[in-house]
Structure 1
Amino acid sequence: MSPDLWSFSLGTYARPGVEAACLQLQSTGVNVCLLLCGLWLGQRGVACNEQRLQLLRNVAEPWETDVVQPLRALRTQWKSAAAEDSELNGLREQVKALELKAERHLLLRLERSAHSWPQCEATDLAAWLEGVTAGAVHLHRDALHQLRVAATGA
């Protein structure tokens, strides 16, 4: 079990199929940092409830909207032109690194928000997945199954 959310996220994201599942979910509006946090909390046995979900959403949503999404939009906007312009490609890579750093800061903020929550209270990831995907679990069954398997190592 990863002691911190960043290490858990890196390890989970590196597993087969997880990157594709995360990108699929992200393209439909799911906050992947919040999703990874939910998986991490579920793996640690932290019980999911509406108050905890709301606290995490309150931490994640402004940072995602004001910091991560603008960086991602700029990186995406430059993709085609950067393929033919090495100087622009260098700048795009810097934006990509900054986007990753912003996501790491978000994960740290989420971890700090949940640091005092008791562990080993629950074993079901379903409540976290339902909560962090805003009830859209049924729309993303395959991607979420892939993430559940990766998080539990099953």
Structure 2
Amino acid sequence: MRPNNILVNHDYEALLEDFGLARTQQEDSDHSSETIVVRTLGYVAPEYAESGKAYKRTDVYSFGVVLLQLITGLETTDKELKGKSLVEWARPLLKEGNYPDLIDKRIVDSHDVHQLLWMVCVAEKCLSKDPHKQLPMENVCVA
């Protein structure tokens, strides 16, 4: 999941598109198939990067990155991050509970600060390094 895969209709409802990430590839030697998941740098969950295995919550992490982009106004590899990824840059602020420094100053006056802080909390739970500590997507949608 990344911003390019999120569409908004005329009623301002978000729609997800392009689920063509999983590909089945035939090997000529034994005709077995394996599923290869193609991911975009900056949105890759740590457990997938380490093991190459996609789990049900792998997209929860990617959603957390998109949410962090909306909150901070930064790209995953923004120049302002000085060579760090967006998540690497945000982790110390999240760990310290320094949520206000994550919020893009351009949106503070036009949005409810309590809702923005709530969004930061949801993003933090989606970005947990341990996939078992991440919110399930059902809870993200309800939260």
Same-fold call, TM cutoff 0.5: no
Pick 1 or 2: higher relative contact order, CA cutoff 8 A, min separation 6.
1
User: If the length of structure 1 is used for normalisation, what is the TM-score?
Assistant: 0.27
Report which of the two structures shows the higher radius of gyration computed on alpha carbons: 2
Q: Per residue, is there more helix in 1 or in 2?
A: 1
Higher-strand-fraction structure: 2
TM-score w.r.t. the length of structure 2 is: 0.28
